């Protein structure tokens, strides 16, 4: 495989680190799911399939239904690198995801993390329950 070794890393091996980072700082897994779905266009079921099938990051992004049109607004530093200056498109998408999860972990308001996109609409598109409400998959 040509490219960085992170491209071949299974998304399922990175995702728990995202969740742990957010939860360690008092944030919720549901918010991590929301920003990942918002960035990639996956819905909750698609995200779950990507996790259980253990696709690598290259495949995860290649099969993403639709990267958010707000992605160009994701700027700033992550691991000392300006995400807007990353030249490789796949590496930039990975850095965008890192940046969004970092913002969630720091407690930034979801409206800001989603770059002004409507949070409830983003949850609905992803098929995620609103905070404090049971999910569609949860038994009544």
List the domains of the chain with CATH numbers.
5-126 (1.10.8.290)
* Predicted pLDDT of residue 129: 75
Q: What is the pLDDT of residue 130?
A: 67
Instruction: Tell me the torsion sign for CA atoms 111, 87, 69, 135.
Output: negative
* pLDDT value for 62: 96
So what's the pLDDT on residue 3?
74
**101 contacts: CB under 8 Å, gap ≥ 6:** 18, 21, 22, 32, 35, 36
pLDDT of residue 139: 38
Averages of pLDDT over each 10 residues, the chain, 140 residues: 81 97 96 97 96 95 95 91 93 96 96 94 88 45
Whether the CB-CB separation of 47 and 33 falls below 8 Å is answered with: yes
Q: How far apart are CA 93 and CA 25, in angstroms?
A: 24
């Amino acid at each position: 495989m040509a490219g960085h070794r992170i491209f071949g890393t299974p998304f399922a091996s990175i995702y728990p680190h995202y969740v742990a980072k957010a939860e360690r700082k008092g944030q919720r897994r549901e918010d991590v799911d929301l920003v990942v779905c918002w960035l990639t266009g996956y819905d909750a079921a698609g995200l779950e399939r990507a996790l259980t099938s253990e696709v690598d990051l290259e495949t995860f992004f290649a099969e993403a239904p639709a990267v958010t049109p707000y992605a160009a607004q994701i700027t700033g530093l992550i691991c000392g690198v300006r995400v807007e200056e990353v030249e490789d498109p796949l590496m930039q998408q990975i850095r965008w995801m890192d940046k969004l999860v970092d913002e969630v972990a720091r407690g930034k308001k979801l409206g800001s993390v989603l770059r002004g996109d409507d949070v409830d609409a983003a949850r609905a598109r992803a098929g995620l329950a609103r905070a404090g409400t049971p999910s569609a998959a949860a038994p009544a």
